[in-house]
Amino acid sequence: MLARLTGFQRDLLFVVASLDGTVPTGVTIQEELSDQRGDRVNHGRLYGNLRDLVDADLVEKRPVDGRTNTYSVTDEARDALRAHCEWEAVCLGRECSAADGADDESETSADGGDDTTDRRKRY
């Protein structure tokens, strides 16, 4: 399912999923995606791709007020993201923490210590 998306759309889908539990508006998604990609994401590119993901039933769009919408991934998209993560994990010879349901924000580093990480930055 994710194979037919562009890399930008896949990144966008991961960012929307990482904001689960919040009320992410387009501006919030734009800021997070820009931070993750290390470059500015322009308004037209963001909203055009969000619209495509909504049309593909991978993202749900809900109005907050007359001008603002909030976005969330669908169950189908979440399953596809987990499958993608599992595939990447196999390719890299490691486990995918999202696939095993780990919600803990701390991980043990290679030296045995605890590293606290922002789970939105782990995709």
108: pLDDT strictly greater than 60:
no
Percent of the chain with pLDDT over 90: 62
Number of structural domains in the chain: 1
Residue 95: inside a domain: no
- CATH code of 34's domain: 1.10.10.10
* pLDDT tens digits along 47-74: 999 999 999 999 999 999 888 999 999 9
Residue 68: inside a domain: yes
* Tally of CB atoms within 10 A around 51: 12
Residue 99: inside a domain: no
* Tally of CB atoms within 10 A around 7: 8
Residue 88: inside a domain: no
* Measured distance CA(93)–CA(96) in Å, rounded: 10
* Tally of CB atoms within 10 A around 13: 26
- Domain containing 38 equals 2-73
Residue 65: inside a domain: yes
Residue 105: inside a domain: no
Give pTM, 2 decimals: 0.73
- The CA–CA distances, whole Å, from 38 to 27, 30, 34, 48, 83 equal 16, 12, 6, 20, 26
Residue 10: inside a domain: yes
